[in-house]
Amino acid sequence: MMASSYNAKEEDGHHSVSAASGPSAGPSAKSKKPDNTAFKQQRLPAWQPILTAGTVLPAFFIIGLIFIPIGIGLFVTSNNIREFEVDYTGVDASSPCFTCSQTYSWNSSIPCKCAVSFSLEQPFESNVFMYYGLSNFYQNHRRYVKSRDDSQLNGDKASLRNPSKECEPYRSHDNKPIAPCGAIANSLFNDTLELFYIDPNGTRTQIPLVKKGIAWWTDKHVKFRNPGGNNFNLTVVFQGTTKPVNWRKYVYELDTDPENNGFVNEDFIVWMRTAALPTFRKLYRIIQKKSNMTPTLPRGNYTLDVTYNYPVRSFEGRKRMILSTISWMGGKNPFLGIAYITVGSVCFFLGVVLLIIHHKYGNRNNSADIPN
Amino acid sequence: MWRRRLTCLFGGEEKRVDSRTIHAGRGSSPVADAFPQQKFCDNRIVSSKYTIWNFLPKNLFEQFRRIANFYFLIIFLVQVIVDTPTSPVTSGLPLFFVITVTAIKQGYEDWLRHKADNEVNKYPVTVLEDGKRVGKESEKIKVGDVVEVLEDETFPCDLVLLQSSRDDDTCFVTTASLDGESNHKTHYTVPDTVKDVESLHATIECEQPQPDLYKFVGRMHIRRDGQETAVRSLGPENLLLKGATLKNTKKIYGVAVYTGMETKMALNYQGKSQKRSVVEKSINAFLIVYLCLLVSKAFVCTTLKYVWQNQHGQDEPWYNPKTQQERDTNLYLKMFTDFLSFMVLFNFIIPVSMYVTVEMQKFLGSFFITWDKDFFDPEVQEGALVNTSDLNEELGQVEYIFTDKTGTLTENNMEFIECCIDGFQYKNHKFLTETDGLCETDGPITITLNKAPEELEELFLRALCLCHTVQVKESQPVDEIDGVVLDQVDGFSPSPEDQCAFIASSPDEVALVKGAMTHGFTFIGSDSKSMKIRNRDNRVEVYELLHVLNFDPVRRRMSVIVKSESGEVLLFCKGADSSIFPRVRKEEVDRIRVHVERDAKEGYRTLCVAYKRLGNEDFARVDAELREARLSLHDREEKLMAVYNQVETDMILIGATAVEDRLQDRAAETMEALQGAGMKVWVLTGDKMETAKSTCYACRLFQRGTELLELTVGALGEGEGKREERLLELLLEYHKRVVHDTPPSKTGLHRTWSSPGQDYGLIVDGATLSLLLNASPDGTGSHYKNLFLKICQSCTSVLCCRMAPLQKAQIVRMVKSSKGSPITLSVGDGANDVSMILEAHVGIGIKGKEGRQAVRNSDYAIPKLKHLKKLLLVHGHLYYVRIAHLVQYFFYKNLCFILPQFLYQFYCGYSQLPLYDAAYLTMYNICFTSMPILAYSLFEQHISIDTLLDHAALYREVAKNAMLRWGPFFYWTMLGVFHGLLFFFGVYCVFSNPALLPSGQVFGNWTFGTIVFTILVFTVTIKLALDTRHWTWINHFVIWGSLAFYILFSFFWGGITWPFLEQQRLYFVFINMLSSMSAWLAIMLLIVLSLLPDVLLVALRRPRGRNTRQVRRRLPSSGTSTIFMLSQTASGHSFSWSD
């Protein structure tokens, strides 16, 4: 904008006054002088690291020396994890679940069953974790992720009667609020998987599957709560609500164990934690180690009995059952080990190369003259 | 305000022609008046932008005119209207923050402007109304008011002088703040205005306001009762300009003719256009790149989404049905809203917070300039002043410096340095100690050992006392001296009264008179017929003044003819050596010449003094000739000249004087440092060519080897028609010489003190310049300009003398708009420099003697020129590096923030699911990563202050916007892309098996995002830490504090089920993540891997500033010795010409 076109007469006047009273008026002079503090003079004591080839070189070696052992450790650990995966979608006509996958209907009252047999080449020693895996299932679709009501799941009575709008179109059915509402809950994975060990002599032994401890502790105990607090009579609590459209049972019929029923059913909780990627696995059951003597799952033949309820063919999806042991790093994942070894080696290699370069040309650099 | 000014200028066009009529005095105008009453603007000066009422709407409007803010507003509105992945809060909150901070800052600045305006507008003035003296505020003055101004006051508006307290109807005025000339100018009252202004009744007709300071045409009709109207013509000598100061006159009365924004001073200032720094331009360029990136990302995602949805079963799988609303929406509208949603999702790539951080960095950073104690000047009792914080970094980009001379390069304070009498050197003993060493080595004679004969000495001093046109100020102390007190004062007492008691049109003369005073001869006073001096024996000698042969620039000398008490008639002459030497005897010349030449080289203004005894007959003849010449009507000037030349011959040379317009403290050193830093220094002055030239030599802008090219009126010769041809000839010749001799690519850029090859200096004067710039508008005009510009750019220094204020601005504009649009900086101290200060990219005001005009209009004000060095070399350099890094880092960190989110769309069915939680999206730029970069951009010193000061050449490292060019931008962008890819795909690989907990439980999508986000926050922060070269405790605190804050926040955010959240997405996600060893290892791996290239670059690259550090190591560690060594080199260089 336009400049202030003004000659500061009073400033000049003021100036001369202050100059005249300069010797006597000490304080006024002091106030205008900038403080001589380290902060204001930008002279705070400072650490001034000089990153040169010399200081950086050791870092490469150190990274190399740390990463390679970690990588080897990870790689070995990952390799020691036993993992077995079986696809039971029933795409091929030859596969046992082909019929079930074809003749699927939500309304059929008689569940379709099929049995997939497989054999384990190696025994699974410690606790075995049973996962179901889905492919091409977009649990991370935004519309899907949104479609839940966390306050309803947390046992809020008001939300139970009046679920969040986000739950549409699974908010209410037949003028009754749906509990639990939303698309996530509606599409709860409802295949039942049972595992049988086939003895060499031909007898089928059902392997006991533990259904507790598959969800995050905090989810089960804090985030998900049944309405009505300690009232175990969930039928009463959920009175006036209806089941999700695709469910066969009410939410209070999920399990007989009151600790695992209603919203705090662990299968339900696991399903409600939406997966990151369209191909994912979720923990289904745990096979506890029985004793130190026998492996949890000895090598041999097994049958997986599937109650085939969950349709995936409509969106080109796949269903898998995964048996896996677990280490301190979780499930089998060779990526981390390989990545660590690679990065460590590269660092080490770079370190060597740089050392050579530094040695060869470093001296010349050091003799550089005063810059001009 | 512009409109206001426009109405002032053009309002009522139809009834106003080319003159205005003003009624002055005695209240209302008589009915007899034929002219319609005209409306004039009041005397208010408005530089503020806002009032309380219009602040909010106007400020908001201006802020949203900024493309970035408008963009964020649009994004915000889209978020409110359309169903978007992120809530409006995520972009609304930062936007609100930005707008508020900016509004507060601008409000504060405008408040300061209001305060300054009020100081002017409320200044009390005295106005005569109905014959009574009425106190008024300055802004209330109306055209036609009769205003009283006292001594040393500034005129509040343009006045026509009516009455002066001086007897001779004159008043003295100094226009130092207008055109930089500090001498006193005489203005005259309008003839025949009644002595009694109260009864004045007159009409003034004058031209409409125009900016030319030296033009004024008008007529005054004076009505007196019972007499017919007298008409008097008015000229510039009657007009007192606003901004000028009344001197040596007790009080005057004047009638206001131009007020407020119509005063010549106000018209001489161009509107202060918003100055934008190169950095801001770079930011905008980068912004466009990122905007394209954003749009293309959104476009790609939208396209792919619909391609993907066309596949069987993907559009609406049974588990994820569409809502009714979605079904109902038109496909194309759906596409469009999808596009908008993607835009919103990725909008964080354009960092809204960058603007806040940049604003804050500029605002807070400028305090360091204010606080710098090195800028504190004990004389002024003030430090530096920052008027605009927007241009801090521009200080590090300066390529051309335009400096004023008087008051900027020099102190505007003439000092008698030494004289030489008959070949013997007399130093002014004040400076004896300082120059002692020099004197012994350079001059063969020292004062203590040898002296000229006493009578010669006294003759010389008498000559100094008599040969001038100085007047003694009629103030009380002088009166006392004149009287009784005089005898009591012993010898020469340089009392303060004496110091300021002389007034003259040239400060040199005062210096000479004062110089004589220190040697025992005091000039006491003169009236029209006689001059009185007090000699060493304290006796008053009276000389009868017979003739004054005036100074003129052609003769370059002046003389007086006086008659001593003994009846002897003497002619004393002083003048430039070139004009005196041919008129005296040869043998004397040689003895003096050594000294004169040496003094001239030192940058002193030298004058030679000669005398001549005139016999009675001689005098009678001369007297007659002079009188005759003076009375002649035709060719009076030429006749007088002839007589002068005839008289001033066969003189006897007695000595020479050296007067210094003292350079500002360390001016030469500063100029040298600036040139060493690759800047070109142009001196633009209103002063005479000779003076300016000598100053240039003194500042070492011109050196001994410098070949001077002159484009002056003198060089062009006389004659209107031929001038242009001659000008073209000269231009072509110089162009050939300068441009073709030196390889054009390297000129100037690599000039150091040691550089070989011919240096060229150009001198151009105002008249020639206007010829150049205003040359015929056809093709030749621009041709002239181009030639001139090329010559200028090849010269190491350019001196432009005799410049009008607007011409200075013209020069600046010319350079500014030349090829490559170099960054210009103007330094000045007076109001005459304001236009160039406003025109240049950066305007620096010197808190000099000539008022505060320049300071007020400058972007930065410093007390002394020497501070410019630190301001540019240290503050400018540092600020540039800081802000450049800030900008690049901001784009980088947002690119690698958003890129994973973009990649995630490919894995979530293009459904616009944000990868990160809303809290992280919002907080990333505001809390987690903003403070470290802010601290960096405030405290970073990649090279220490001392090193920067010592090695001016380091300034060139950042020249030409080096850190914000496309190269570095590309590097940072690539780094961001690399990091983004690494973060996403690294975690993607880890999530190929989401069972990452040792309990076999799995992680969901929010853990995925949190891991990426954790890596991101740590990487960008550590990346900054790697770039930090100056770790104060604040940096430590902020960098580690930010990381700690991120962790604490994540704990906290995930530790509670927040009642206000609809979904507890992050509940215990972070803590569960930490309980996974794999997550830890993945985070560590990816951080290290992403920082590896940077570390590798450090190892491969020759570190910046390493050499200088070595130098420092080589030198003895204490600071004093460094200074010693530097001063050795500096002095070795500066006196290199003497051997």
Residue B685 annotated as part of some ligand binding site: yes
Ramachandran angles phi, psi of B406, nearest 5°: -65, 125
3-state secondary structure of B560: strand
pLDDT in tens, B524-567: 877 667 788 888 788 888 888 888 787 766 677 888 888 888 88
* pLDDT: which is higher, A69 or B254: A69
pLDDT at position B297 is: 94
Ramachandran angles phi, psi of B257, nearest 5°: -110, -40
Q: Decide if B993 and A350 are in contact by the 8 Å CB cutoff.
A: no
Q: pLDDT-based confidence at B133, cuts 50/70/90? A: confident
**CA-based nearest distance A203→chain B, Å:** 30
CB-CB neighbors (< 8 A) of B382 in chain A: 32
What is the pLDDT averaged over residues A87-105?
A: 85
pLDDT at position B721 is: 62
What is the pLDDT averaged over residues B703-730?
A: 74
Query: pLDDT > 90: what percent of chain A?
Result: 42
Q: Mean pLDDT score of chain A, rounded to an integer? A: 83
What is the pLDDT averaged over residues B411-436?
A: 65
Most confident of A181-195, B784-798, B1121-1135: A181-195
3-state secondary structure of B626: helix
pLDDT at position B777 is: 55
What is the pLDDT averaged over residues B191-202?
A: 68
Active site residues of B: 404
Most confident of A265-274, B428-437, B465-474, B949-958: A265-274
- Range name among B54-58, B159-163, B990-994 with the lowest pLDDT average: B159-163
Interface pTM (ipTM) of the complex?
0.90
Residue B406 annotated as part of some ligand binding site: yes
Strands B239-240 and B860-862, sheet pairing? unpaired
Which of B305, B309, B319, B367 is the mutation pick for testing A, counting most A CBs within 10 A? B319
Which of A37, A42, A271, A350 is the mutation pick for testing B, counting most B CBs within 10 A? A42
pLDDT at position B481 is: 37
Q: Decide if B989 and A214 are in contact by the 8 Å CB cutoff.
A: no
pLDDT at position B633 is: 60
Asked if residue A329 lies in contact with residue A145, where contact means CB atoms within 8 angstroms, the answer is no
pLDDT at position B981 is: 96
- Range name among A101-105, A282-286, B779-783, B1002-1006 with the lowest pLDDT average: B779-783
pLDDT in tens, B315-342: 888 888 888 888 888 889 989 989 998 9
pLDDT at position B281 is: 83
What is the pLDDT averaged over residues B611-633?
A: 82
The answer to whether the Cα torsion of B650, B654, B655, B659 is positive or negative is negative
- Range name among A305-314, B689-698, B865-874, B890-899 with the lowest pLDDT average: B689-698
Candidate from A36, A273, A372 with C-beta closest to B1004: A273
What is the pLDDT averaged over residues B1081-1087?
A: 95
Q: Decide if B851 and A12 are in contact by the 8 Å CB cutoff.
A: yes
Strands B652-663 and B605-614, sheet pairing? antiparallel
What is the pLDDT averaged over residues B473-500?
A: 41
Query: pLDDT > 70: what percent of chain B?
Result: 80
In this predicted structure, the answer to whether residue B440 has a pLDDT above a threshold of 50 is no
Candidate from A51, A280, A311 with C-beta closest to B1103: A51
pLDDT at position B505 is: 62
Asked if residue B279 lies in contact with residue B200, where contact means CB atoms within 8 angstroms, the answer is no
Asked if residue B920 lies in contact with residue B1014, where contact means CB atoms within 8 angstroms, the answer is no
CA distance B780 to B731: 12
CA distance B414 to B420: 18
CA distance B1030 to B937: 11
Q: Decide if B320 and A48 are in contact by the 8 Å CB cutoff.
A: no
Residue B686 annotated as part of some ligand binding site: yes
Q: pLDDT-based confidence at A75, cuts 50/70/90? A: very high
What is the pLDDT averaged over residues B83-95?
A: 78
Q: What one-character DSSP code corresponds to residue B954?
A: G
pLDDT in tens, B1060-1078: 888 888 999 999 999 999 9
Q: Mean pLDDT score of chain B, rounded to an integer? A: 78
pLDDT at position B168 is: 67
pLDDT at position B742 is: 52
The beta-strand segments (E) located in B53-169 are 124-129, 132-137, 146-150, 158-164
- Range name among A179-193, B360-374, B849-863 with the lowest pLDDT average: B849-863
Q: Decide if A331 and B993 are in contact by the 8 Å CB cutoff.
A: yes
Q: pLDDT-based confidence at B446, cuts 50/70/90? A: very low
Q: Which amino acid is at B288?
A: I
Q: Decide if A2 and B271 are in contact by the 8 Å CB cutoff.
A: yes
Q: pLDDT-based confidence at B686, cuts 50/70/90? A: confident
CB-CB neighbors (< 8 A) of B1107 in chain A: 368-371
CB-CB neighbors (< 8 A) of A68 in chain B: none
CB pairs under 8 A between A and B: 374
pLDDT at position A370 is: 37
Residue in A227, A230, A255, A229 with CA at minimum distance from that of residue A241: A227
User: Where is B725: in which H helix or E strand?
Assistant: helix B720-741
Asked if residue B99 lies in contact with residue B60, where contact means CB atoms within 8 angstroms, the answer is yes
Give the chain A residue nearest B910 (alpha carbons). Answer: A141
3-state secondary structure of B230: strand
User: Where is B661: in which H helix or E strand?
Assistant: strand B652-663
Q: Using CB atoms and an 8 Å cut-off, which of residues 979-1038 of chain B contact chain A?
A: 986, 988-1009, 1026, 1029-1035
Candidate from A36, A141, A328 with C-beta closest to B908: A141
CA distance B344 to B342: 5
Q: pLDDT-based confidence at B1044, cuts 50/70/90? A: very high
- Range name among B96-110, B330-344, B1071-1085 with the lowest pLDDT average: B96-110
What is the pLDDT averaged over residues B758-785?
A: 75
pTM of the predicted structure, to 2 decimals: 0.79
Asked if residue B415 lies in contact with residue B659, where contact means CB atoms within 8 angstroms, the answer is yes
Q: pLDDT-based confidence at A134, cuts 50/70/90? A: very high
**CA-based nearest distance B317→chain A, Å:** 6
pLDDT in tens, B258-316: 888 788 777 766 555 567 777 888 888 898 899 999 999 999 999 999 999 888 777 88
In this predicted structure, the answer to whether residue B198 has a pLDDT above a threshold of 70 is no
Report CA dihedral (B1128, B1129, B1133, B1134) to the nearest 10 degrees: -50
Cα–Cα distance list, B1008 to A361, B244, B751, B1069 (Å): 45, 72, 57, 9
Q: Decide if B1062 and A168 are in contact by the 8 Å CB cutoff.
A: no
Most confident of A80-84, A231-235, B248-252, B651-655: A80-84
CB-CB neighbors (< 8 A) of A1 in chain B: 1-2, 47, 49, 271-272
